[in-house]
Amino acid sequence: MRFPEFKGEWISCKVGDYGKIITGSTPPTSDNTNYADGTHLWASPVDLGQTKYVIDTQTKLSSIGFGKTRKLPAGSVLITCIGSTIGKMGMAATEMSTNQQINSIVVDSQYDNNFVYYALQSRFPRYLTSVAVQAVPIMSKSSFEKLQNYRTALEEQKKIGALLNLIDERISTQIRIIDKLQSLMKGLAEHLTAFTPNTKIADCLNCHSSILQENQVKNEGKYKVYGANGICGYNDSPAILEDAILIVKDGSGVGNVSYASGEYSVVGTSNYLTAKSGYSLKYLYFCLMIFNFVPYRTGMAIPHIYFKDYGKALIPCPSLNKQEQIATLLSKIECKIETEKSITESYLRQKRFLLQSMFI
């Protein structure tokens, strides 16, 4: 797929031809002056992948620390090349630096920054076959520089890059909309449930377990299977036939809650909770959404929570009529969030299609 005004074959090149490859570095963490009152962006893999442009980082460097790193100009293309998240990408929105897990391309003037970003993104699934097989996946700087890609005339690069950048900007806008709505919903939930806690969680909810393992889940099937991060696969028959609150009880997402309807199953790392008579399940879902599970976590390497522990905690439960009124209001915001998520997914599908169709 091409813009009609462009013809001719694209030319094979190496990633190193796009510009200067720079591997990041970490100023000594033992010297607090490298980080104290930091204002300079310093990216690690956790800062990449959510949106295209890196406008903030979890860790920032002081001027002293920043002076010890390899500086990257705005527009540099950042790619994670070490670790389990290898392939996560971003683009520097301003001058910044990165840690050693990230290789960056300071794009040469004969190439368009956006084009280079998307050319790499389109081919990275194929690049993963060159990753060294070891406990920590790694793609060395020398290997990264030699990866094959393609280039075309600068004007075509600019048009392709500008089109895909518009879609990424819209995706970023969608993410901000969803974040704002989720903050609004949680804020309202806290305000609307600000009654005196009067009911034990175990007195209004029943807890159920699952023995389903993730390796038993299929890629296709009639009924959804929920894991810690949402739908993780499908099964031919459902284990649950009613609405329930799903709560992650094991692993890094412990305490995360979601709501499921219809016929479905859950994997064994989650419990599902159903309401006892006289209580609104949806109201209790919003209560648990803002509930603090941290005091009930056990385990170091793999955290857990147990219903027998947090079930003793008190939550505010007004009359059933009041519960239903609150649940109805908050459900409308939640429905809006799901609509915005669907719109976001449609833009992501459009972007995936264009990446597959516009690049060799």
Q: Quickly list H helices, 128-233.
A: 141-146, 154-192, 201-204
Residues of the chain above pLDDT 70, percent: 99
Report helix, strand or coil for 129. Answer: helix
Measured between alpha carbons, how far is 69 from 64 in angstroms, rounded to an integer?
10
Chain centroid to Cα 233, Å, comes to 18
Q: Looking at the domain that runs over 196-317, which CATH code has it been given? A: 3.90.220.20
Evaluate whether 206 touches 273 at the Cβ level (below 8 Å).
yes
Q: For the segment 223-249, what is each residue's pLDDT rounded down to a tens digit?
A: 999 998 889 999 999 999 999 999 999
Largest Cα separation within the chain, whole Å, is 73
Tell me the per-residue pLDDT of 3-30, one tens digit each, with 9 for 90 and over: 999 999 999 999 999 999 999 999 999 9
Tell me if 20 sits within 8 A of 141, measured CB to CB.
no
Q: What is the mean pLDDT of the chain?
A: 94
Q: Is 247 helix (H, G, I), strand (E, B) or coil?
A: strand
Give pLDDT, residue 360. 85
Q: What is the pLDDT of residue 50?
A: 87
Q: Rounded to whole angstroms, how far apart are CA atoms 33 and 29? A: 9
11-152 and 196-317 in the same fold: yes
How many CB atoms sit inside 10 A of residue 225's CB? 22
Q: In the β-sheet with 53-54, what is the strand arrangement from edge to edge?
A: 19-23, 102-107, 77-80, 89-92, 53-54
Helix (H) or strand (E) run with residue 276 in it: none
SS3 content of the chain, % helix, strand, coil (to 5): 40, 25, 40
Indicate whether 134 pLDDT > 70. Answer: no
Nearest to 152 by CA among 360, 10, 357: 10
- Angle, helix 281-289 to helix 154-192, in steps of 10 degrees: 110
The pLDDT of residue 183: 96
Which single residue is written with the structure tokens 């033992």?
A: 30
Residue indicated by tokens 């499921």 = 260
pLDDT of residue 273: 97
Beta pairing partners, 318: none
Q: pLDDT tens for residues 262-316? A: 999 999 999 999 999 999 999 999 999 999 999 999 987 889 999 999 999 999 9
Residues 320-324 have a mean pLDDT of 97
Query: For 184-215, what is each residue's pLDDT tens digit?
Result: 999 999 999 999 999 999 999 999 999 999 88
| Residue pLDDT, tens place only, 148-157 | 999 999 999 9
Residue 129: the pLDDT is: 79
223-227 sheet: strands from edge to edge: 230-235, 223-227, 264-266
> For 86-125, how does the pLDDT look when each residue is reduced to its tens digit (9 = 90+)?
999 999 999 999 999 999 999 999 999 999 999 999 999 8
Element holding 149 (H helix, E strand): strand 148-151
Whether residue 133 is predicted with pLDDT greater than 70 in this model: the reply is: no
pTM: 0.84
Indicate whether 60 pLDDT > 80. Answer: yes
Indicate the CATH number for domain 11-152. Answer: 3.90.220.20
| Confidence grade of residue 131 (pLDDT, cut at 50, 70, 90) | confident
pLDDT at 323: 97
Domain extents for the chain? 11-152, 196-317
Selection from 218, 247, 251, 250 nearest residue 235 by Cα: 218
The reported pLDDT for the residue numbered 34 is 96
